[in-house]
Structure 1
Amino acid sequence: MERIYEPEGWCILKVEPPGQPHFYQVFGSWVGGFADPDKWRLSSGADDLDSTFMEGDICVFPQSSGSIYHLALIAHKQHNFYAQGVLNHLIEQQTDSALGARVSIIDLETQDGRIKVPFKEVES
Structure 2
Amino acid sequence: MSSYQPDGWVCLRVETPKWSGFRIFGSWAGGYATGDRWRLSSGFTEQANVTTENGLITLPQESGSKYNIMNSGQGQLTMHNRGVLKNMIDTANKENGLNIQKITLDCNSIETILGSLIAAKTVQRH
Same fold? TM cut 0.5: yes
Q: Describe how 1:1-124 pairs up with structure 2 within 5 A.
A: 2-18=1-17, 20-48=18-46, 50-98=48-96, 100-109=97-106, 115-118=108-111, 119=113, 120-121=115-116, 122-123=119-120
Change (3 A) 1:49 1:35: farther
TM-score, normalization by structure 2: 0.83
Distance in 2 (CA, whole Å) between partners of 1:89 and 1:52 is 29
Return 40-49 or 5-14, whichever deviates more.
40-49
Q: Which runs of 5+ in 2 are unaligned?
A: none
Q: How far is the alpha carbon of 1:115 from its aligned partner?
A: 3.7
Question: Would the aligned equivalents of 1:24 and 1:49 in 2 still touch at CA under 8 Å?
Answer: no
Q: Which runs of 5+ in 1 are unaligned?
A: none
Distance in 1 (CA, whole Å) between partners of 2:7 and 2:36 is 11
Identity of aligned residues (%): 32
Distance in 1 (CA, whole Å) between partners of 2:108 and 2:90 is 27
Distance in 2 (CA, whole Å) between partners of 1:51 and 1:94 is 28
Distance in 2 (CA, whole Å) between partners of 1:108 and 1:31 is 22
Runs of at least 4 residues off by over 3 Å: none
Which has the larger helix fraction? 2
Question: Would the aligned equivalents of 2:29 and 2:37 in 1 still touch at CA under 8 Å?
Answer: yes
Q: How far is the alpha carbon of 1:49 from its aligned partner?
A: 5.6
Q: How far is the alpha carbon of 1:80 from its aligned partner?
A: 1.5
Distance in 1 (CA, whole Å) between partners of 2:78 and 2:47 is 25
TM-score, normalization by structure 1: 0.85
